[in-house]
Amino acid sequence: MTEQDDFQKSAELRRRIIVRAQMYTYGFLAAALAIAFGGSAMVAWILSRTGLPFVKTWIAILIIVLLPSLVTVVWRAVRERSQP
């Protein structure tokens, strides 16, 4: 076994690890979005019993839940790109 073979095997292993990490990341993102949508729908449903419109309340709560995270992600991305 040569050094080139070792390098190719380790590169393939790194690629598989990166792909698996990306799958976990996307899975966690999907789960977080499902929880945000479901939780905000549940809160909107509870508040709709008091007379508030369900859809408008759901959208408002969803924006309140997701907007801070979205702003943080965009802000970090902009900061990373602006740094040398």
**Buried-exposed string 21-47: b where 16+ CB fall within 10 A, e elsewhere:** eeeeeeeeeeeeeeeeeeebbebbeeb
pTM above 0.85, yes or no: no
Match 């598989």 to its residue by tokens.
16
Exposure of 72 in the CB half-sphere (CA atoms within 13 A):
5
Contact 48, 54 (CB under 8 A): yes
pLDDT in tens, 55-81: 999 999 999 999 998 899 889 989 888
Model confidence over 27-45: pLDDT tens digits? Answer: 999 999 999 999 999 999 9
Q: Which stretch of DSSP H or E encloses residue 31?
A: helix 3-48
